[in-house]
Amino acid sequence: MSAKTLKLRVINGQDLSGQEYAEIIELCNRAYGRDVEQFMVTFKDPTHVLGYYEDALVSHALWITRWLQNADLPPLETAYVEAVATEEYYRNRGFASAVMKRLAGEITGYDLAALCTGSPDFYSRLDWQVWRGPLFIRTSEGPVPTPNETVMVLSLPNSPALDLDSSLSAEWREGELW
């Protein structure tokens, strides 16, 4: 098996059938070893990249729009990646890489792409860079430091020059802040 046999499909979350949504939740639950549905319902207007092998959903990622801000620059319209998951049996075969490459090709109109991960080595191979500077969540009471997160960014055609050693902030949201 190789990523060449993976069929990729990009679909807006509102266009998913109930069965497709259930399959995504089940895949992510198995991949993360926990129930992710309460987290997934917090995403506003997600777009999914689905990877099928022999008609079975085996790999997934989605993006939502968030507004990230580098230091004092204006906020950047950011394709924020979530729920990257591959069935255990199909890992290390290029499926997640194929899904992420397709996702990167779909988000070129954004100012930036970002994600939070515990697996930076995987994303580094796909040209994502670790944000080295301090991270914050913007709240009505002011910025809240989030020092224990690993956020990575992917420069896109519209990305300005970024200082990866300066601060990066995102708006507050329900669920996981990053």
Q: What is the distance between the alpha carbons of residues 106 and 178, in angstroms, rounded to a whole number?
A: 22
Task: For residue 4, name the pLDDT band (cuts at 50, 70, 90).
Answer: low
β-partners of residue 12 are 47
What amino acid is encoded at 48 in this protein? H
Rounded to whole angstroms, how far apart are CA atoms 29 and 54?
A: 21
Q: Render pLDDT for 34-67 as a digit per residue (tens, 0 to 9).
A: 999 999 999 999 999 999 999 999 999 999 999 9
3-state secondary structure of 95: helix
Helix (H) or strand (E) holding 21: helix 18-32
The structure's pTM equals 0.95
Look up residue 15 and give its two tokens.
């266009």
Q: Name the average pLDDT for the chain.
A: 96
Report which secondary-structure segment, H or E, holds 58. strand 56-70
For the chain, domains (ranges, CATH) are 3-171 (3.40.630.30)
